[in-house]
Amino acid sequence: MKIIFLSFLFIFFSHHSDSQSLGADRISKLKSSVVRVFVEKQASGTGFFVTQDGWLLTCWHVIEPALIRDSSHRIIGLKKMYIQFSNGEKVEVGIMTDLLGKGYQNGISYDYALLKIQTTPITKFSPLKIGRFEDIQEGDEIYTCGYPLGIEQQFISKGILSTKWDDKETLKGGAGGESVINREVAWLDLTMNRGNSGGPIIKLGSTPNNDEVIGLADFILNPFANAADELINYLNENANKGSILIQGVDFGKMALLFGSAIAYNSIGVSGCISIDYPRTLLIGENH
């Protein structure tokens, strides 16, 4: 009986140990796909390759700072955008033109952007397999990779998909009108922070070849950080209206620094948006 019991323990703990590791193959492919996204010299978020010919996926709000607008809020130009590999190589990227035209509203509504490398990089990269949001269930294991909190190294984390739900997003129209859309999203028991946006949320399969991207790292719920964002925006909008100096201390600048410190404390509940929205466009363009 003791021999059987010990054998059972060996099998149980061997399996348990294996389930704790993503494995070298997954890590290698993940690191060769995930890149850091820059708008000019400023790191803006994360992206990842989805085709062998150099298409990448990220969130719309990651590339939003690259849009140059006129007084009517129309896009009149783009700042330079780059991706950076883990070895430091940078390559310029451009945005899919459809997303600056008829697909613009869709990109904003479902927070995605497709980018394309403008020159062939020296660094080898691997695309990740795109799945469907319906194939992930609550409680399934997931993992991701990105560049949170301004760090220059790739950060990999593993967890579970907690809850799938429909989010109602209110969009403002050009004439002052509003429309409400439904978006499939999920709460994640997964470590994410600022900078993870645009990274892949991947369903863990039975083998690395069965792993599929089911969502985009998209948002974090943190009341303190979210409120600090509003404070920062307010202070920036009023930066040219004069400063309040008390004994030589610039209280506007102090409040801005304080707000930034809170905003970057992104410990909270993370979430993703369904991969299905860019998936249709991607397949239509490249297959």
The residue ranges of every structural domain in the chain are: 23-222+266-286, 223-263
Residue 149 pLDDT: 83
Q: Per residue in 85-137, pLDDT tens?
A: 999 999 999 999 999 888 898 999 999 999 999 999 999 999 999 999 999 99
Strand 55-58 versus strand 67-69 pairing type:
unpaired
Please indicate, yes or no, whether the overall pTM of this predicted structure exceeds 0.85.
no
Name the band, by pLDDT with cuts 50, 70 and 90, for residue 261.
low
Among the residue ranges 89-103, 109-123, 177-191, 233-247, the one predicted with the least confidence is 233-247
What kind of fold does domain 23-222+266-286 have according to CATH? Answer: Thrombin, subunit H (2.40.10)
Angle at 96 between CA 90 and CA 98, to 5 degrees: 165
Name the band, by pLDDT with cuts 50, 70 and 90, for residue 259.
low
Q: Give dist(CA 41, CA 170) in Å, integer.
A: 32
SS3 assignment, position 124: coil
